[in-house]
Copies of this chain bind each other. A is one copy, B any other.
Amino acid sequence: MGKKGILAVVSGFSGSGKGTLMKELMSRYPQTYALSVSATTRSPREGEEEGREYFFKTKEDFEKMIAKDELIEYAKYVENYYGTPRAYVEKKLDEGMDVILEIEIQGALKVRERFPDTLLLFVTPPTAEELRARLIGRGTETMDVIKSRLDRACEEAKGMGAYDYLIVNDDLNDCVEKMHAIIQGEHQRSSRNEEFMRKIKEDLNSLKGED
């Protein structure tokens, strides 16, 4: 049951450690999860590799992808495009792998519009106090830096309620296992197993017919 992969979007507060969390999830369960790689028109930074951090595209190529509906969602930040290529996601889902997208709330909501079964996970520190500590830092940041982090966190917090689950990042190990348990548990949602239920009902009816 629930053989088709689940599309899971992971977002979270900046500094919630979700990058590390994703890497650990992939390395523990490489047969279960596939991490979607975004396409972008921004230039590669030192150490970044084509197809690992991003698929690097020219603006022209990216706009062709948009026109041909090859992206599940895309957005423009500071003159650069970022988007999620559709082909890879659909291929992995069909293979039965759970696909993880690490994107922000606007993208998350667009993905869910397109794939209503998308699971939305939001990574957060365990308490408001800890979030506060991460935002303020050690008192060595300028007011401007803190203000811009606060603004961003406020924006992120506004969207939290739209997510299905909050993943509390207290301890990396626990957090990876919690995320794994939640995604695997979702495979057993009855709404994801319509075919299984239909088959059982059909079988029972045909057994009654044989009486």
A122, A147, A182, A205 — which one has the most chain B CB atoms within 10 A of its CB?
A182
CB-based contact A128/B203 at 8 Å: yes
Chain B residues closer than 8 Å to A132, beta-carbon distance: 203, 207
CB-based contact A204/B157 at 8 Å: yes
Known: A181-B184, A182-B188, A199-B128. A193 touches B207 (CB 8 A): no
Chain B residues closer than 8 Å to A208, beta-carbon distance: 150-151, 154
Q: What are 26 A-B contacts with C-beta separation under 8 Å?
A: A1-B126, A128-B203, A128-B204, A129-B203, A132-B203, A132-B207, A143-B211, A147-B211, A150-B211, A151-B208, A154-B204, A157-B197, A157-B204, A158-B201, A160-B190, A160-B197, A160-B200, A160-B201, A165-B185, A165-B188, A166-B188, A166-B196, A167-B188, A168-B188, A182-B188, A185-B185
